[in-house]
Amino acid sequence: DVKVTQSSRYLVKRTGEKVFLECVQDMDHENMFWYRQDPGLGLRLIYFSYDVKMKEKGDIPEGYSVSREKKERFSLILESASTNQTSMYLCASSPQGFNSPLHFGNGTRLTVT
C-alpha cells in the first residue's frame, strides 16, 4: 500500500514564524501535491510538483513556497505565518500519467496564533 506520511498531526505556531510542513511518500511517485482544507471552502490546491526540483502554482499559492530536493519528499513552507493560514494541510501523491488515483497523508492541523 502507498504510504504518504506528514511529519506532524498538529502544529501551533506564532504569527510571523517560518513554518515547514514535511511530506514523504514511499511509492516512487512522480507527482506530489499540497492542499489546504477549510470548512465551507473545500480542498484547494496550493502547489504541486511533477518531478524533482519542479513545481507549479496551484489555485492559492500566495504566502507559501515549496521545495522538492528528493523525489520522495515535498515540503511546504510558510515564510511568515499569518492567522489566515490556520487550516488543515493535506499532502498527496500520484504516479505519472492520467487516470491514477491520489493518495493522501493524514493531514497536519496548523494553528497560527
Partner 1 sequence: KQEVTQIPAALSVPEGENLVLNCSFTDSAIYNLQWFRQDPGKGLTSLLLIQSSQREQTSGRLNASLDKSSGRSTLYIAASQPGDSATYLCAVDGGSNYKLTFGKGTLLTVNP
**Interface with partner 1, residue 87, by CB under 8 A:** no
Residue entry with cell 512522480: 30
| Cα 1 from chain centre | 20
SS3 85: helix
**Interface with partner 1, residue 105, by CB under 8 A:** yes
- Provide the grid cell at 51: 518531478
**Interface with partner 1, residue 50, by CB under 8 A:** yes
SS3 64: strand
Interacting residue with partner 1 among 58, 60, 61, 63 (CB under 8 A): 58
* Start-to-end Cα distance in the chain: 37
**Interface with partner 1, residue 4, by CB under 8 A:** yes
Q: Which is nearer to partner 1, 82 or 106 (CB)?
A: 106
Q: Which is nearer to partner 1, 38 or 79 (CB)?
A: 38
Interacting residue with partner 1 among 19, 75, 107, 112 (CB under 8 A): 107
